[in-house]
Amino acid sequence: MCGIVGAIAQREVAPILLEGLKRLEYRGYDSAGLVVLNESAELERIRTTGKVVQLANAYDRQPVIGKTGIAHTRWATHGKPSESNAHPHICRNKVAVVHNGIIENHQTLREQQSKLGFTFTSDTDTEVVVHQVCHQLDQGDNLLQAVQHTCQDLEGAYALGVVSATEPDRLIAARRGSPLVIGVGIGEYFIASYVAGLLPVTQPFVFVEDCDIADLTRVGMLI
Ligand code: GLU
């Protein structure tokens, strides 16, 4: 279990996400990645194996610009350390998810989702989360409802950050058995698995209770 950082902000978030990941490096990890929603509400992702500095170098070569995003350092539990297994995971260019923890019923969900036509691009347990959220959106849920329903289907431990091109001004965070904290700013919110990931960015902090889901927009927070 390693690190999550996320932001829905008034400013470019990629530098904040990278700085947050660096501050969580002490926890150990094998790969890193981030996604932002750009001006056109498209998901733009970069992922690398190795250190956060390599992700930062990739960002320098190909900056991703946006005011909402999520980032992750991965400690592989399912699937080897590789770029394709690194988070965020994306479904149909629509939904992106970062996850700390282990989804125990990933095999069952994977079989159900394969039958529904979802294709898998990683060997992780996490990828079922992003497909399940996408499936729920297809059923007519909004993003918050989609994450609520998805969490009901998950067995295991998770801290999640979820963004969607369908609702670019929203960041959903959820936790069960894995830590998650929210940093409160002025017209902006941040998430991280540990306070250390947000220290230079904002305070105060709200500690998300186990099994809670947080709905974050620039105008407020609902838990
Ligand atoms: N179980 C997930 C994976 O293997 C997440 C691991 C983590 O917490 O970093 O990708």
At 2 the pLDDT is 81
At 200 the pLDDT is 86
Is the confidence at residue 113, as pLDDT, over 70? yes
Query: What is the average per-residue pLDDT within 193-198?
Result: 94
pLDDT band at 86 (very low <50, low <70, confident <90, very high): very high
Cβ–Cβ under 8 Å, residues 206 and 223: yes
Is the confidence at residue 1, as pLDDT, over 70? no
Question: Over 33-52, what HEC string results?
Answer: EEEEECCCCCEEEEEEECCH
pLDDT in tens, 12-59: 999 999 999 999 998 889 999 999 999 999 999 999 999 999 999 999
Q: How far is the CA of 201 from the centre of ligand 1 (A)?
A: 25
Instruction: Please provide residue 131's backbone torsions phi and psi, each rounded to the nearest 5 degrees.
Output: -70, -35
pLDDT band at 197 (very low <50, low <70, confident <90, very high): very high
Q: How far is the CA of 219 from the centre of ligand 1 (A)?
A: 31
Query: What is the average per-residue pLDDT within 120-138?
Result: 98
At 131 the pLDDT is 98
What percent of the chain lies above the pLDDT cut of 70? Answer: 100
At 174 the pLDDT is 98
Q: How far is the CA of 19 from the centre of ligand 1 (A)?
A: 20
Task: For a ligand 1 pocket test, name from 25, 89, 99 the mutation site with the most ligand atoms within 8 angstroms of its C-beta.
Answer: 99
Q: Is 45 in the pocket of ligand 1 (CB under 6 A)?
A: no
Cα 175 to Cα 134: distance, rounded to the nearest angstrom: 19
Cα 47 to Cα 212: distance, rounded to the nearest angstrom: 28
Closest ligand 1 atom to residue 73 Cα is 9
Is the confidence at residue 158, as pLDDT, over 70? yes
